[in-house]
Structure 1
C-alpha cells in the first residue's frame, strides 16, 4: 500500500512539471533579426526618421501590456550600454511582421552601429542587425578657412598654417561652434579627386598644393566643407598676397564695413592709394571707402605683397552750390543735386525742419538759414548721401554808423565781429587808421581801412583786452580812443 502511494505521488509530480514547462514555453515569443529600411542613417535637423521591420512568433503570446523597444549600440556595435531610440505604446503592436520608426541621437557618429528589438511582456530580445553607418549632421553647410583668402605662401623650408575660421566671415556657420565635431583635411590631386592628408582643426602645410577640409561625417555625404586654398612655396623673389573683401568687390556700404583679409604671415602693413595706413598692421583691415588698397606681408625669411582696387557701389552725387552762400532779400538760389542713384528720394531741411513741399532734385531757396539735403537710393545697393549748405544775408562792409565803437566781440557770430567805423574814415577817404596794443605795439596801420579788423584771430592775453586807436583825417583832424576786445 505504501509503494502504491509513492508511485502515485511521483506520477503526479511529473505531470505537474510537464504542465509547468508547457505553460512556460507557451508564454514566450521569438523575435527575428531586424531588417533595416535604410543603408545609412545620415540625419540632420531637417531629416531624422528611419525604420526597421521584424517578425515575432507566436502573436498569441503577447500580453496586453507588452511594449517593443529598439536599442542602438555604440559606434562599434557594442550593446554594453545601449541607447533606447524607440519604445512603442503598451499593446499597440500586435501583429507580425511589424515596422517601427525611430530617430538617432544628435551625438551619433560612427560606421558600426547596430540595433536590436526587445519585448517587455513577455521579455524577449532579437539578434543584432547588420552594421550601418550613422551620423547626425549637426552642422551641414559650407564654411570658410584662411579668412576666405584663396591663396597662401610659405618661405622655402618653412610651412603655412591653415585654420578653420571661427566664427568665420559673413554668414559663415563655423563648425568650430560644435565641439563634438571632428575634421578631415584633403589635398587635391585633380579637379575632381583628392587624397586624405590629416585630421584636426588646423593643418600645417609643407608641400605646395590646393587644400580643403570637411567635417568628418564618415561615409555620409555632407555640405559641411570649406573653400579651397592654394599654397605655394617661395624660393626667391616675392610671393603674391591675395586680398579678399568680405562683402565682395564692389560692395554695398549700407551693410557696414567690409573686411579685407590677406594670407597669414608674421607681420603686416596696409596701404591706401600708396600711403601707409597708420596702425593697420593686422591680417585684416576694415573699411567702407573705395580706393586702391595694398598690403605687405612679412613671411619670416621672405615676403609677399598684394593689392585690390576696392569699389563701393554707393551712388555718386554732387551739389551745384558752395557751403556758404549770400543772396539779397528779394533773390533766390537755385540748388540742384546731380546723382547716379537708382530710384532716389530727396529730402530737404531748413534749420532742422523738413521742407515737405521739396521732394525733387532741384529747390529754389529764398530763405536765410542752414540747409540739409538727403539723397536716398532705394534700389540695388541702398544708401544715402547728405549735403549741407547755408544762405546768409549780404554783409555791408561800410554800413552807416554814427559813432566809433569802443567794443567788439570777434566770436564768429557775424555780430560785432569787426571794428566798424563811420564811412568818413574808411577806404576812399585817405584817412590814416592806427591800432596799438596797451604797450604801444602797432597791430594795424593803413589809409585804406575796410572795416575788417581783426582779420585774424587775436592772441589775447586777457579775457577783455584793450587796444588803442588813432584816426587822422586828410585834413589832419585826429580822433583817439580805446577798443575793448571781448574774448
Structure 2
C-alpha cells in the first residue's frame, strides 16, 4: 500500500481550500454605485417620488428571498447611523441587472450632502455610496405672514425694530412656526429683483437699518413657496414716523364676513381714534370694528412716536321700511297695508314672505298686505359685497278696547297671555258714560278710581301667590243704582 506523505496531505488540503474559496466567490454578487436622474430632491406632501438605478453581477447567485434596500445617509453623506432603509423591495422581486427602485424621502430630510447606497440580503452585499445631492422635505410650502401683514415699521434714531413670523398659523396663514424643526433665512432687498441675506436663522429679526425685509423657510438650494410678505422699515425723522394701518378684510370691506381687524406697527403702547375721537380701551396693536370712518392710531416707539390713519369703508348698506312691527287693519272692510322699503343697496334683490313662505312674484321694494299674519322682507345687495338685511312685521285685526260683554266679570287672570288679563266691563260703564269706577282691596283701601274707565285695570303688575287675591268694586252711574261685587285674581 502506498503511503500518504505529509506533503501529500498539505497538497490535498490546499486543493479543498481553493475549491471552497472559489465556490464562495462564485456565490457572491457585486453591486455597483447607484445613480439617479435628478440634481436635487425637493420633496413635499404633493410630490415625493424618486428613482435610483444600479447594476449587479452574478444574477444567478441571488437567493429566492433576496431583497434590495436603499439606505440614506445623513446630510453630510455619513452612513454610520443609517440603519433603517428608506425602501426595501419584495422578496425575489428583483432578479436581473440593471434594476431601478423607487423611494421617498423622510419628512425630516434637510441638507445639501445626502448620499444613498444599495444593500442586498441574500447574499449580503453593499454598494458604494452614490454621488452627493441636495435633499429637502418641504413640510411647510405656502406663503405666511410676518408682523400681522402690516407693510411698514419704524424705529427711533439709535433704536431697533423687531420683525417676527406670525404664530399660530390659521386660515390662509400656515405659519412655519407650527413646525419646530424648520429654520429660516432673512433678507433685505437691494433692488427690484435682488436681495442680500441678513441676520440669523430664527423666527425674529432685529432691524437697525432702513430697508425692505422678508423671510423664507430655509430649504437650501430647493425653491419653495414658503416665504413671507415684505415689510419696509424706516428710521423716524424729527421724532415722528409713519404708522401704517392694515385691514384684515381689505378696504373697502364686507361686514357680512364679520369684524375687520385693524393692525399697525409694533411699539411700546397704542391709542386708537375714530374720526378724531379716542376710542376707550383701544390700546393694543390691533383693533376690531364693523364700522366705516377715519381710524387713526398713535404708537409710542420709545424715544419717538409714529402715527397713521385709514379711511375705512364698509360695503354694507342701510335700509328702512315704512310700517310698524305690529299693524292693525280691518280686513273685513277691504282695508290693506302697503309696506315700502327704502335702501342704499347696490342692485338690490327683494324677497317677501308670508308666514315664512315665499310670496310668488313679490320681487319689488313694496308689497300690499291683504291678509292677517306675519310678513318678512329680505333685501340683498347683489353687486360687490353680498349682504342681506331683513324686516319683520305683522298684520292683525284692530284692537277694540271696549268689546261687547253682557255681564260684569268677577274673575280675571292678569298673567300676560293676552286672555282675560284686564277687567273688561259692559259698555254702559266705560269711558263716555260718566260712570265712576272704584276698586278696593280686601282691607277696604281704594286702589283704583276713575270716571273715564278704559277697560285697563289692573294697570300695574299684581304679585300673585298660591292664594287668590280678592278685590271689591263699586260702579256708580248717573241714572242707575250702584253696582257692587268682587273680583278674584287668579294666575
With normalisation by structure 1, the TM-score equals 0.79
- Does residue 227 in structure 1 map to residue 229 in structure 2? yes
Deviations 1:433-484 (A, max 9, x none): xxxxxxxxxxxxxxxx999x9xxx99x9xxx9xxxxxxxxxxxxxxxxxxxx
- Does residue 287 in structure 1 map to residue 289 in structure 2? yes
Between 1:94-103 and 1:363-372, the stretch displaced more is 363-372
- Distance across 1 between alignment mates of 2:402 and 2:268: 67
1:375 alignment counterpart: 379
Between 1:371-380 and 1:60-69, the stretch displaced more is 371-380
- Distance across 2 between alignment mates of 1:291 and 1:318: 22
Of 349, 361, 367 in structure 2, the residue corresponding to residue 363 of structure 1 is: 367
Q: 2:379, 2:390 within 8 Å by CA — same for their partners in 1?
A: yes
- Distance across 2 between alignment mates of 1:146 and 1:214: 14
Shift of the alpha carbon at 1:398?
Answer: 11
- Distance across 1 between alignment mates of 2:277 and 2:185: 42
1:73 alignment counterpart: 73
SS of the aligned residue for 2:86 comes to strand
SS of the aligned residue for 1:250 comes to coil
Deviations 1:40-62 (A, max 9, x none): 01001111111112221132322
Of 209, 226, 244 in structure 2, the residue corresponding to residue 242 of structure 1 is: 244
- Distance across 2 between alignment mates of 1:92 and 1:387: 73
Shift of the alpha carbon at 1:332?
Answer: 2.4
Q: 1:34, 1:116 within 8 Å by CA — same for their partners in 2?
A: yes
Shift of the alpha carbon at 1:209?
Answer: 0.8
CA 117–400 in structure 1, closer or farther in 2 if over 3 Å, else same? closer
Q: 1:374, 1:386 within 8 Å by CA — same for their partners in 2?
A: yes
Of 217, 220, 237 in structure 2, the residue corresponding to residue 218 of structure 1 is: 220
1:308 alignment counterpart: 310
1:332 alignment counterpart: 336
Shift of the alpha carbon at 1:400?
Answer: 12
Q: 2:31, 2:118 within 8 Å by CA — same for their partners in 1?
A: yes
Shift of the alpha carbon at 1:102?
Answer: 0.9
Query: 5 Å matches for 1:88-487?
Result: 88-168=89-169, 170-197=171-198, 198-321=200-323, 330=333, 331-339=335-343, 340-342=345-347, 344-349=349-354, 353-354=356-357, 356-357=359-360, 359-361=362-364, 362-366=366-370, 371-377=375-381, 381-389=385-393
Let me know the Cα RMSD of the aligned residues.
4.7
Query: 5 Å matches for 1:5-84?
Result: 5-82=5-82, 83-84=84-85
Deviations 1:193-214 (A, max 9, x none): 1111121011121211111110
2:86 alignment counterpart: 85
Q: 1:62, 1:94 within 8 Å by CA — same for their partners in 2?
A: yes
- Distance across 2 between alignment mates of 1:232 and 1:30: 64
**Number of residue pairs the alignment of both structures matches:** 478
- Distance across 2 between alignment mates of 1:268 and 1:388: 42
Unmatched 5+ residue regions in structure 1? 402-408, 432-448, 465-485
CA 332–86 in structure 1, closer or farther in 2 if over 3 Å, else same? same
SS of the aligned residue for 1:25 comes to helix
Shift of the alpha carbon at 1:325?
Answer: 5.9
Q: 1:345, 1:377 within 8 Å by CA — same for their partners in 2?
A: no
- Distance across 1 between alignment mates of 2:103 and 2:50: 5
Between 1:310-319 and 1:122-131, the stretch displaced more is 310-319
CA 68–241 in structure 1, closer or farther in 2 if over 3 Å, else same? same
Unmatched 5+ residue regions in structure 2? 406-413, 435-451, 463-468, 470-488
Q: 1:342, 1:380 within 8 Å by CA — same for their partners in 2?
A: no
1:473 alignment counterpart: none
- Distance across 1 between alignment mates of 2:303 and 2:256: 41
With normalisation by structure 2, the TM-score equals 0.78
